[in-house]
Amino acid sequence: MGWLLPRKIEPGWMAVSLQTTEFSIAHGRREPGARPLISQIASYPIEEGRPDAAKVLAQRMRLDRFHCETLMSAGEYQLLTVEAPNVPPAELKAAIRWSVQGLIDFHIDDATIDVLDIPPEPGSSGAAHAMYAVIARNELVKRHIDRFQEAAIPLSVIDIAETAQRNIGVLCEATDAQGVALIYVAETYSLLTVNFKGELYLARRIEFGLQQLLRQNDDGARAGGLNRILLEVQRTFDVFERQYHFVPVGKLVVAPEPEDSGIRAYLAEHLDLPVVSMELGEIVDFAAGLEPDLATQWKQFHLIGAALRQDSKAL
């Protein structure tokens, strides 16, 4: 006679990235009154011609014991700002579907949609306010689900870089009186976010990244690249200040980089607010011997952010 025992689920979130040639994980835990803990972070190469490699790794790490999530890639979804419809909560997603159908280049019936509220100004009850709509093709969402099913990994949440970055940006908030801007310079783009009192108020992609900055050996070309990012940041802040005048931005934090691109120093020289480099080890605890170097912090930045989520909302 056999007994089916309940599966013990470990606290926290296991963020998993399943790439063609690499399998990466980051496990995070958040406890009240304590700094967040990254208890696992690792990457494993996947051999060519081994379709079962991810499943073997997942079984070895016993990922069935965790709440697992993954991140969509930048080109797999759209993040649109829309006016929050004045409807009951149960009708919200249906109303958003109607309002965004003319803003996407595929049929709305082929779209998976989730929403993220942007809190309005305090005391403005009843006034119209904005929210984010996250839109992805059903086939791309299904592709993620199928890959995790094939690897026998229980997938609970599909996340996006913007909210993963918010999870880290929140940890940089010193007080409830000021918001924090955070810029992450990826290989081919930069992601600028602003959060305030734990909420994501702004997310803006800038189509310029490390690939362009670090390949420009000529000082003039390099300065031109830095200036391009600066102008986009300045324009974004100008628009943000007009839209969200009640959110004072206290500082701009530059996420870890694999090597110094010069962006922190350049922005600090030209912006009228403090610009600081992020020391990830000062806001997040890593299990003994696990603190990653700067290159790994940069590469796995959003995976770490995804692992630090606090809610169970799925795309």
Q: DSSP secondary-structure letter at 298?
A: H
What percentage of the chain exceeds 90 in pLDDT?
77
Average pLDDT over residues 56-85: 94
User: How far apart are alpha carbons 286 and 283 in whole angstroms?
Assistant: 10
Amino acid sitting at position 39: S
Residue 21 token pair: 């040639």
CB 113 within 8 A of CB 97: yes
* Domain ranges within the chain, ordered by starting residue: 74-141, 172-278
CB 133 within 8 A of CB 104: no
Question: Would the pLDDT of 314 be above 70?
Answer: no
Summarize pLDDT for 157-171 with one digit per residue, the tens: 999 999 999 999 999
Average pLDDT over residues 252-272: 96
pTM of the model: 0.93
User: CA angle, 307 as apex, 201 and 188 as ends, to 5°?
Assistant: 65
Domain 172-278 has what CATH class? alpha beta
Ramachandran angles phi, psi of 293, nearest 5°: -75, 175
Check residue 3 and give its pLDDT.
55
Summarize pLDDT for 99-155 with one digit per residue, the tens: 999 999 999 999 999 999 999 988 877 667 899 999 999 999 999 999 999 999 999
